[in-house]
Every structure is written in structure tokens, then in C-alpha cells.
Structure 1
């Protein structure tokens, strides 16, 4: 469970990104975070994996207040959270297999288990046959699928995606969404910031709409509600 209570975020340049945000996201939910550019969406989701901390208020992940968390505890929090970025953030000199395996190597998983698990998730995202390719040899959609595989390889409780289809063509975007739906069906919480009206309106899930750092709409099976 993710809880935000009266959360404010004011950056050093004086910009208020979050302005009294209050919400709860239960385990197993699929949530879209929508709104115009500059609405506070990125700051909102960065709170969930402690890339940012509140200037005021409380953010709790499974009842643990991240504001009270010491820096050395953060890596342990992130073991239960998979993060997917718009620009993939793959390691360019490593193969597909090595990029995904890296997430397990840093937690010192058993090498035999690493191989089995990496090949399982690559099969799930349809890239088992490209395990030895490097990112430059892949299309944008394939790179995003590698990023998803890396995010889910350690069976996280929460997957957070920041504009995961923003750089992809429509057909590839739907393939990516199919994977997210499958991940969510296993009980993993999925939180996705997006500007895609078509995706939100076709695959109906909970919608949290943000404007000027505040939640202005929170609807079960909601619509996008903005122009593309």
C-alpha cells in the first residue's frame, strides 16, 4: 500500500511541484496518473521510490514513512519496486541478458537462479531470442521491453512507469500495455504516468488526474479527460 498525506514538494528554485496531495493506492491496483505537462506527475511518482522526499507531509510505503528512512535503507526499499523510464536507461555495453541480470546480481542472487529467472522474463516479454544482443541492435519497442523485464525480474510488489509509451509507435505501445496488464494480473501494483488518451480510454483503470500539483480527479475506470 502507498499512502500520501498532505504532501508538499517545493524545489530549491521555489517551484511548488506538489501542493497538499493526499491519496492511497492499494496493493494490486492499476493506476494511471494523467495531467498536463508541469502538473506534478513526475514528482508524484518519484516520491514512491524515494527519488524525491516531501518538503512537508508523509509518504508511506507499506506503512514505512520514506521521510524517516535513512539513505542506506533506500536500496532495500527499491528491491520491492520496479521502475521503467521513457528513455529506457539501459546499460549500452551490456547485452539484453546482462541488463536484466544486473538487477539480480546487485542483490547477490544465486547465479543459477539468475539465469533461470532472466530467461523466464525475457520469454514473457518476447525477447528470449535476443538475449545476446546489445541495446543498439534493438528497436525502441524492444528496448522498452528489456526495461520492463529488468523492472519485473525480482518480482517487485510495485511497478512504476513514467511515460513508458511516450517514444513508441501505436502498435508497439499496445504490445507494451499487454505486458503491463499481464504483470498486474499477477497481483503486482502498476502505476503509470502517461499522456496517451487512447490507452487510458481503451484500457479502463483507476485514473488520478493532476493539475498545479494537486489531485483534481480520482476515478475508478476513469477517462483521460484531456486533449492529446
Structure 2
């Protein structure tokens, strides 16, 4: 059974721009999927629809049989316990330490305080940055900040990790280290959906590739190539 299902989904913005045009697609539990396509193709809108940052204008999006279009706003935080999100620009809280940034993600969902420390230290170990637990984001490199962002997104062991250009601001060596982490997260059972322009990563780490153009799926290959000039 599909973990994520889009059925004839449309997203039309108030300026009449059709960002998503009748998209129907499914994702199975445990997949690692690249979302590729030229700038302006609708990749970011597609990503935002999956964690209900945007709401579809038409059609249905299901995550484990829950219809996102019917979710009340007060129910969205519960959805996001199951869907972790990593951004290109990290979005860390600058006034909090590495440890506090990750712990905060558990505090907002009212995790048992007795469990928070162990969960945070375990996930810091997963992303190999435990030694920087007391550092502030401004004291970290870009790659280290992205590791913290991933740790924050997966500390609650979500079913799905959505990564929007997670290597876009990183040098090649650092980008590959981030991919190692994402592959480890996927190996633990989390479904990973990653929007990217990184041709080398897509062509080297062969996974399912979904290409989007003008808000439509134009290619869906089990072990595809990037297929665009960058």
C-alpha cells in the first residue's frame, strides 16, 4: 500500500499561476526518491504540499490514508510529527545551541522530558556531530548546520523525510557527506523525498527519479538519471 498518494492534484496561486497541473503519483514506504526538473518547474510547491505548508487547490493528497486537504489547521502539527523537513538554508534558531535546537523539536510535541536528552544524543550520533552539541549555529560550518537541521528533522523518527535542495549551498565534499547521512536515515526505514539540482549525486546514487516540468510529472524512472543541464 502507498504511503503517499497524490490524486489529480492542482495548485493555482492567486495570480493564476498553475504551479501543479493535475499531478497523480504514489510513493511507497522506505523509498528514496529524487525530485528533479528545471527552475520554476513546481518542485518546491510540490514539496510544500506534502507537509501542508501549501494546500492543494484541487485533488487529494493522502499520507498513510490521511487526506491532507481535509486536515484542520490545528491538526497540521500532528501531521508534521510524521513528516520531517530539511531546507537548503537550514532554518536553525540562532539563539539556541545545537542541542537546544534539536530538543526544541521534541518539546513542541510535548515529548516526555526524561526521554529528550537520550533522543537528542542518539540523533547527534547518527549525524556525527555530537561534539558540537553546545555550539551555536553561527559557530558551525554550512555542512555542520545542515547536519543539525537533519538531526532536528529526524529526532522524532518520522515516517517521511522531505529534503528541499539539502546540498544546494554546500561544497561537493560536504554535499556527499550529507548524502551519506540521508542514505543512513533511509536505511533505518524512513521514506526520503529529495528535491535537487545536483546532477552528479542523482547520476551516481541511483534511486527513483521523478522529473517535473510545468507542474506535471514528465518522467518517473526506478533508477534514472538527472536528465537536465545544470
Per the shorter chain, which TM-score range? over 0.9
Kindly provide the CA deviation profile for residues 132-179 of structure 1, in whole angstroms up to 9, marking residues without a partner as x: 000000000000000000000000000000000000000000000000
For 1:178 and 1:54, the matched residues in 2 are separated by 33
SS, match of residue 117 in structure 1: helix
The normalised TM-score by structure 2 is 0.98
Matched, 1:188 2:190: yes
Could you list the structure 1 runs, at least 4 aligned residues long, displaced by more than 2 angstroms after superposition: none
Question: How well do the aligned residues superpose, as a CA RMSD in angstroms?
Answer: 0.6
SS, match of residue 189 in structure 2: coil
SS, match of residue 162 in structure 2: strand
SS, match of residue 62 in structure 2: strand
For 2:44 and 2:24, the matched residues in 1 are separated by 16
Matched, 1:95 2:97: yes
For 1:5 and 1:107, the matched residues in 2 are separated by 30
Q: CA deviation at 1:112?
A: 2.2
Match of 2:117 in 1: 115
Q: Which one is further off, 154-163 or 58-67?
A: 58-67
Match of 1:50 in 2: 52
SS, match of residue 155 in structure 1: coil
Match of 1:31 in 2: 33
SS, match of residue 13 in structure 1: coil
For 2:142 and 2:159, the matched residues in 1 are separated by 26
Kindly provide the CA deviation profile for residues 100-144 of structure 1, in whole angstroms up to 9, marking residues without a partner as x: 001111111122210011011111111111100000000000000
Paired residues, number: 228
Q: CA deviation at 1:30?
A: 0.4
| Structure 2: runs of 5+ lacking an equivalent | none
| Structure 1: runs of 5+ lacking an equivalent | none
The normalised TM-score by structure 1 is 0.99
SS, match of residue 182 in structure 1: helix
For 2:111 and 2:9, the matched residues in 1 are separated by 36
